[in-house]
C-alpha cells in the first residue's frame, strides 16, 4: 500500500515492550455471588458493609489466607437503586413492543413490520442476576486467588458462584490507513489495487437522523483522554470518566490506555468539519465511564461502570460500547475473551439489554504468547459453551483484515470467532484520532471493529427514531445488523455480517 502523507506512527505497540502483565503489582481477585437467602438490603451510606454471613466468611478467609476484605463489586449505584433498575427492566420490553405496535410508521414499513414479527412478544427475556449479590476478594497472585476460590467452592450454602479474575491484559497493538471503512463496497482506491468492502456510512449522513443525533452512546474504557481539536466537548459527558487508577502502572501502559480511548472516540464522534477524521456517528453524545473505579481497590470493575451509566439514564434506543475484554492467563500466555465471560458483567449486560440498550462488545483478541496470538472459537468459553448457550443479548463483534477486496473476506488472525459472533468490521488500517491533535492510521483488532459497529448501530437507530419516533429493540437491531441480506456475509468464517448501512437505510424507506 502506498504510504500516505499524514502518517503518525502512533507507537501503539508500546505494549509489545511489556510482558503479559502490563499492570505489575495489581492484584488478582476472586468474584463471588452470594446466595439470595443470605442477602439483605442496605441503605447507600452502608454500601460497603457486607451481609452478616459474609462478615463471618471474611474472618475465615483472614484466618486461612491473611489479610482479606470482602467488597461489593458494584459500589457506584446503591443496592436499592439497582433493584429499581431491575424492576424497570422487567416492563421495558413490553412497553417498547406496545409503542411499536401503535406506530403507523412501523406498521407501514415492511422491514420494521417484519422485524416486529420476528421478535416474539411472548418470548421470555433472559433475567439478569441480582447485581447486588456480587462481591470480590483481592488476592496477591494467581496461586492465592485459585486457593481462595477452592475454599469458596466448599461453601455452597452461602456462595452460589465463584470466579477468578486476573489483572487486565495488554490492549491490542496496531497497523495503518485512512477512513475507507466508511465507504461503499463499490468504491475504488488505486492504492489498494481495486474495489473494497466498507460499511457505506457516508452515504446516509445526509438522511434525517443519519448523524446519530437521536442516540446516546455509553462507552466504557480503562481510562479516558478527551483532549483533541476534532472532538466537540458538548458531545462528551464525562460523568463517570474520572478517577483513573495510575499508581504502580508503567507509563507505557497508561499512555496506551489513553490513546486507545481517544481512538475509540475518534471512530465514533470526530466532528464532520473537514478537519482530521469524521466520526461514524458524529452527531451522537457519548457518556463515558472508566472501568477503573473511584474506590480503594485495584480491581477493574466493568459491571460497576455499566450500572453507573444505566443509573445515569442510558435507556431505550441507546447504545453501550464496552471496549473491554477478559484476559485470564496461564503459563505465561494470555487468553483475550469477551468481557461478558466475567459473571457479573454478563448480568450487567443482560440488565442493559432488558432496559432497551443495545450492547456492542468485542469478541476479543485471541490467545497465546504476545507475539503469536491466534483467534479462538468462542464456543470454548462459558457462557457460550453452555447447553443451550447463554445469550446476553449483546452484539458480539469480530474483525476482518483490511482492505477487503471485493468478494474476498479474511478474518483478522487474532480475532476470536464462532457462531456467537454477530457482526464484524475492519480490524486493521482504521484511521482515527490520536494524542497531540493528530491522526493515526493504526487502530486495530476487535476494539476498532467494535467501535465501527457501534457507530453504525447508532446511525441506524437514530434514523429509525427520526422516522417513527419509536426505537428498535436490542434484539431487533442485532437481527437487522447481522442479516446477510443487508451486508457482507462472513458467517462461514465465524465473523458474522458486516452491515451495509446504506442498504439497511434504503430498506427502511429513508
Q: What is the pLDDT of residues 403-431, one digit of tens each?
A: 666 567 899 999 999 999 999 999 988 98
Q: Which helix (H) or strand (E) holds 396?
A: strand 395-400
Convert the pLDDT of each residue in 175-186 to its tens digit.
223 687 888 765
Which parts of 66-198 fold into alpha helices (H)?
Answer: 79-102, 104-108, 110-118, 142-153
In this predicted structure, the answer to whether residue 314 has a pLDDT above a threshold of 60 is: yes
Q: Which residue has the higher pLDDT, 424 or 294?
A: 424
Q: What is the mean pLDDT of the chain?
A: 86
State the pLDDT at residue 406: 55
Q: pTM of this prediction?
A: 0.91
Q: Are 74 and 307 in contact (CB under 8 A)?
A: yes
Name the E strands within 23-97.
Answer: 28-34, 70-72
The whole-number average pLDDT for the span 252-262 is 88
In this predicted structure, the answer to whether residue 123 has a pLDDT above a threshold of 80 is: no
The whole-number average pLDDT for the span 70-92 is 90
pLDDT-derived band at 43 (thresholds 50, 70, 90) equals: very low
Which residues, listed in sequence order, are joined to residue 216 by a DSSP beta bridge? 285
State the pLDDT at residue 3: 33
Tell me the range of 78-87, 112-121, 447-456 where mean pLDDT is highest.
Answer: 447-456
Q: Which helix (H) or strand (E) holds 499?
A: strand 497-499
In this predicted structure, the answer to whether residue 5 has a pLDDT above a threshold of 60 is: no
pLDDT-derived band at 229 (thresholds 50, 70, 90) equals: very high
In this predicted structure, the answer to whether residue 122 has a pLDDT above a threshold of 70 is: no
Convert the pLDDT of each residue in 344-387 to its tens digit.
999 999 999 999 999 999 999 998 876 788 999 999 998 998 88
Q: Are 101 and 116 in contact (CB under 8 A)?
A: yes
The whole-number average pLDDT for the span 454-481 is 97
pLDDT-derived band at 41 (thresholds 50, 70, 90) equals: low
The whole-number average pLDDT for the span 140-158 is 93
Q: Are 396 and 363 in contact (CB under 8 A)?
A: yes
Domain parsing of the chain, residue ranges = 12-22+167-507, 28-39+44-77+130-165
CATH 3.40.630.30 fits 12-22+167-507, yes or no: no
State the pLDDT at residue 223: 86
Can you spell out the DSSP letters for 469-480? SSPPPHHHHHHH
Buried b (16+ CB within 10 A) or exposed e, 44-81: eeebeebbebbeebbeebeeebeebebbbbbbbbbbeb
Which among 446, 164, 171 has a CA at the least distance from the CA of 330? 164
Amino acid at each position: 500500500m502506498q504510504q500516505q502523507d499524514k502518517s503518525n506512527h502512533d507507537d501503539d505497540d508500546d505494549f509489545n515492550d511489556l510482558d503479559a502483565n502490563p499492570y505489575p503489582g495489581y492484584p488478582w481477585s476472586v468474584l463471588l455471588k452470594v446466595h439470595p437467602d443470605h442477602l439483605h438490603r442496605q441503605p447507600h451510606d452502608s454500601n460497603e458493609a457486607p451481609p452478616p454471613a459474609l462478615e463471618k466468611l471474611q474472618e475465615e478467609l483472614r484466618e486461612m489466607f491473611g489479610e482479606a476484605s470482602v467488597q461489593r463489586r458494584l459500589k457506584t449505584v446503591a443496592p436499592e437503586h439497582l433493584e429499581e433498575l431491575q424492576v424497570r427492566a422487567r416492563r421495558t420490553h413490553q412497553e417498547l413492543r406496545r409503542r411499536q405496535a401503535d406506530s403507523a410508521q412501523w406498521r407501514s414499513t415492511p422491514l420494521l413490520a417484519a422485524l416486529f414479527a420476528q421478535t416474539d412478544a411472548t418470548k421470555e427475556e433472559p433475567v439478569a442476576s441480582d447485581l447486588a449479590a456480587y462481591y470480590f476478594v483481592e488476592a496477591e497472585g494467581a496461586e492465592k486467588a485459585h486457593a481462595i476460590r477452592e475454599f469458596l467452592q466448599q461453601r455452597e450454602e452461602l456462595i452460589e458462584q465463584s470466579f477468578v479474575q486476573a489483572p487486565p491484559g495488554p490492549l491490542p497493538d496496531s497497523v495503518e490507513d485512512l477512513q475507507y471503512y466508511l465507504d461503499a463496497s463499490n468504491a475504488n482506491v488505486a492504492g489498494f489495487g481495486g474495489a473494497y468492502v466498507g460499511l457505506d456510512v457516508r452515504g446516509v449522513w445526509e438522511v434525517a437522523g443519519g448523524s446519530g443525533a437521536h442516540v446516546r452512546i455509553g462507552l466504557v474504557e480503562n481510562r479516558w483522554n478527551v483532549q483533541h481539536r476534532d472532538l466537540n466537548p458538548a458531545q462528551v459527558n464525562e460523568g463517570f470518566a474520572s478517577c483513573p487508577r495510575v499508581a504502580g502502572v508503567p507509563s507505557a501502559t497508561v499512555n496506551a490506555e489513553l490513546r486507545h480511548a481517544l481512538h475509540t472516540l475518534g471512530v465514533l464522534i470526530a466532528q464532520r468539519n473537514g478537519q482530521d477524521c469524521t466520526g461514524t456517528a458524529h452527531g451522537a453524545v457519548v457518556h463515558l465511564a472508566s472501568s477503573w473505579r473511584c474506590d480503594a481497590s485495584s480491581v477493574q470493575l466493568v459491571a460497576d461502570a455499566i450500572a453507573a451509566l444505566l443509573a445515569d439514564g442510558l435507556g431505550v434506543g441507546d447504545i453501550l460500547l464496552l471496549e473491554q475484554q477478559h484476559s485470564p492467563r496461564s503459563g505465561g500466555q494470555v487468553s483475550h475473551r469477551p468481557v461478558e465471560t466475567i459473571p457479573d458483567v454478563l448480568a450487567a449486560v443482560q440488565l442493559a439489554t432488558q432496559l432497551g440498550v443495545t450492547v456492542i462488545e468485542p469478541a476479543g483478541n485471541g490467545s497465546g504468547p504476545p507475539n503469536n496470538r491466534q483467534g479462538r472459537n468462542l464456543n470454548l468459553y462459558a457462557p457460550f459453551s453452555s447447553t443451550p448457550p447463554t445469550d446476553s443479548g449483546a452484539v458480539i463483534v469480530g474483525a476482518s483484515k483490511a482492505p477487503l477486496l471485493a468478494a474476498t473476506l479474511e478474518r483478522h488472525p487474532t480475532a476470536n470467532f464462532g457462531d456467537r459472533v454477530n457482526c464484524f468490521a475492519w480490524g486493521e488500517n482504521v484511521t482515527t484520532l490520536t494524542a497531540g491533535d493528530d491522526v493515526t492510521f493504526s487502530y486495530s483488532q476487535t476494539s476498532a471493529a467494535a467501535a465501527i459497529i457501534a457507530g453504525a448501530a447508532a446511525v441506524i437507530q437514530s434514523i429509525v427514531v427520526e422516522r417513527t419516533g419509536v426505537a428498535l429493540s436490542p434484539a431487533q437491531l442485532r437481527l437487522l445488523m447481522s442479516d446477510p441480506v443487508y451486508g457482507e456475509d462472513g458467517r462461514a468464517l465465524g465473523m458474522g455480517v458486516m452491515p451495509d448501512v446504506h442498504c439497511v437505510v434504503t430498506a427502511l424507506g429513508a
